[in-house]
Structure 1
Amino acid sequence: MPKFIANLHIDDFFSAASKSGLSSNLVVSSIAFPLSIVSGLLLLDGVLNASVTSAAIGALGLVAAQAIKARAQ
């Protein structure tokens, strides 16, 4: 295997992310917050419009957001 294919500098890519100062917990928490807002709005829409599908997706999203928050801590 040629050296240019074996050495793709993948380690440099991943180490740059850890050197940037953002912790993975902060990134995961910043994803969980908007997910919980969107899921709550979907759940509210499902309840007000009697849409079982929208309410179910909203409930699953809220569960996923809570799981992400718990995993980040």
Structure 2
Amino acid sequence: MGQKTAIGSLLKSIGNSGQGKVVPGWGAVPVMAAIGVMLLIFLVIMLQIYNQSLLLQGFSVDWNGAG
């Protein structure tokens, strides 16, 4: 058996306090859906810039563009 410490007891009490509890309703689903949609839009814009189907003035997409 291991030793019992005050820190161990404190961490054990707060670690399992929410286990098995389910909040009724949608919870964080709308927030996660909004973040997912924004990420999708960002990735589509990046893909369009890379494929040059969305052209930005003064911005070239090639291997020498950073130098």
TM-score by length of 2: 0.44
Whichever structure has more helix as a proportion of its residues is 1
- Rg (Cα) greater in structure: 2
Structure ranking higher on relative contact order (CA contacts 8 Å, 6+ apart): 1
TM-score by length of 1: 0.41
